[in-house]
Structure 1
């Protein structure tokens, strides 16, 4: 029932945004009626693509080219709506500028052509950005760390659809070149039925580091049988941290690595995060790094040196990051949460929904820890 409510609300919102684009942007353009009709037909077809995407999202039998075409309409609507808002603002400013009507008409035509040109260019740029995964190098000072350590963090890969075994194979090669002490995956690794994710997941067997690879579940794992996902990931030379901790490094030279289930577990009453249990038995004289999928879990943390999170995608498409900020205390990057605790939020190694990135690149994080 919840899924159908989500579909109804999502389609309703996308329909309203499309209508606003048509009424507040397309209708006001100094273009011929024929050209405006063509643009409106494109918007209608684009909206149908959104509906098709909702049914294709979890149907891995759909070929990638079709999935790509069905996934981009969401981003197109969002970016065109942003363009519409800016167009409205500039149009109102133009109306009050004290210039003669001939010059005002020239400015209006320039604004119309510019709005469509910029919107088209930004959409193309956003799609191009999603093809590149950048290495984010971050230096973090950790009190009491006897010897420097390198952590590579991956997050929000979202295997399924366009994120396939070829994407993961290339990702593994990039990670291995960083020669990490430990690799961590902070949730939302799988976003499809496990049967269709196995080929991509199997590529993760090739990850190399001095002390292994560790994984925590994110909210999306709960949508696809979290129990089976944990069991399968654990067969790939990857350890899922289930409200528990391990020690990374040689005696007295390393740190505690702890991991908790995702906050969605509180809502579904299964695989519930338990920080107290996750920290139980750790070596208290050594620093602690906690893996928690959602940044807002930081509100539960008191005596942890560093929290590594994901979930936000850095907003993925600007200015969506401002909406994410309403729900999460941190959207991306390194932050000093309080006197004792820092948090780093990975912008996501893959993407969800449209294969678009604007103002928030996909990333592999290399965290250089030092005393």
Structure 2
């Protein structure tokens, strides 16, 4: 007879070694990634046939080694238990610099240069071609970093668009909804930037202003001065807010309390009714999907609770930090979901990695029978103070009724 119990055990345990190997690999990624980010540009710029003078090679290598050591150290001291803002600024900036250098070293040095050599295109001998590629990598990276820094620090442009919702009543046609999200107040003091963002929002004459989370990196107590201008935002009907995943890294309940103090209504798995011209819109909000794993009592994403008591015949505008929540929104028949979280990728080509995790990167998309999702690229930036091919935005959505 066949021993089915031992056979079943063997079958059940067969994948275990593969899983253990995968987990071990994932543990090493934080160690491998920084090495790749600094080693690849170092190799492309200094060791692929350029034959630089020894002081140039030695000095350049020392700079890359210094970056490799300083980046994770700065991020650990800045975002870990020590919460040292100066260290965070250094680590975050080096992360952005290394990402841009790595990207263009791969595209120009690893892929383009061999292709040019095979095709016989280029200047002079192999050394001249290698030096030309190194110059192109450095020049393009420097230009993109300078431009990306300016893009990250400026007040976002206003993106205006009409969104047609068939179930929206005629009395609500033309309702002006302003979306700000992912302000990420953090180690770089942006109190003046915050005030200018709020001035821009106030100039839009909004009926409803929404903030879909990731207000800051740090506790409400530490970032209060940067968040304080949010108290000056004006709206005809309401200012509403939901938590993002970064609130759950830094005492989310403190941010809920501060936003309430500033006059914003936290929609924690609840809704309010916005009435105009005899018609009604349900404005609902849910906690971020990471809330439940935070361990904070009462914090979780609960759409049924958010819509509890709402007339199912009324149109619903839902605030949910992550676009990935749209599957649940579509199943519940939500008309419009507003989200952030993606930053539009922030620094190209990180865009493609974001799309592996989220159903949308930026802009309008349609899901299910009637659900429209709008994903903002975000108003601020996270970590590296750069935005490359992913401009920030303040969004004005004008809601339109009818088909």
Match of 1:255 in 2: 281
The 3 A distance-change label for structure 1 pair 107 and 142 is: same
Q: Distance in 1 between matches of 2:27 and 2:157?
A: 33
Q: RMSD over aligned Cα, in angstroms?
A: 2.3
Contact 1:287 1:305 in 2 (8 A): yes
Match of 2:320 in 1: 292
- Normalised TM-score (structure 1): 0.91
Q: Distance in 2 between matches of 1:29 and 1:368?
A: 57
Q: Distance in 2 between matches of 1:23 and 1:108?
A: 11
Q: Distance in 1 between matches of 2:121 and 2:342?
A: 45
The farther-off stretch of 287-296 and 33-42 is 33-42
1:52 to 71, 74, 85: 74
* 1:77 maps to 2:77: no
Match of 1:332 in 2: 362
Q: Distance in 1 between matches of 2:315 and 2:265?
A: 20
- Normalised TM-score (structure 2): 0.84
Match of 2:61 in 1: 40
Match of 1:177 in 2: 203
Tell me by how many angstroms 1:325 deviates.
0.5
1:140 to 150, 160, 163: 163
Three-state SS of the structure 2 residue aligned to 1:130 is helix
1:361 to 391, 394, 397: 391
Contact 2:77 2:83 in 1 (8 A): no
Q: Distance in 1 between matches of 2:122 and 2:203?
A: 63
The farther-off stretch of 28-37 and 85-94 is 28-37
Three-state SS of the structure 2 residue aligned to 1:208 is coil
Tell me by how many angstroms 1:337 deviates.
1.8
The 3 A distance-change label for structure 1 pair 7 and 364 is: farther
Tell me by how many angstroms 1:219 deviates.
0.6
Match of 2:9 in 1: none
2:349 to 315, 319, 323: 319
2:152 to 126, 130, 136: 130
Q: Unpaired runs of 5+ in structure 1?
A: 1-5
| Runs of 4+ in structure 1 over 3 Å off | 6-12, 57-63, 66-70, 98-109
Please say which structure displays the higher CA radius of gyration.
2
Three-state SS of the structure 2 residue aligned to 1:286 is coil
Give the 5 Å matches for 1:338-353: 338-353=368-383
Q: Distance in 2 between matches of 1:118 and 1:298?
A: 38
2:188 to 154, 157, 162: 162
Contact 1:159 1:191 in 2 (8 A): yes
Q: Could you give the per-residue CA deviations for residues 223-279 of structure 1, whole angstroms, max 9, x where no partner exists?
A: 111122212211111100010111123263341111001111243354111111111
The farther-off stretch of 23-32 and 288-297 is 23-32
Match of 1:204 in 2: 230
* 1:273 maps to 2:301: yes
Three-state SS of the structure 2 residue aligned to 1:28 is coil
* 1:214 maps to 2:240: yes
* 1:22 maps to 2:42: yes
The 3 A distance-change label for structure 1 pair 101 and 317 is: closer
Equivalent residue pairs, number: 364
* 1:120 maps to 2:142: yes
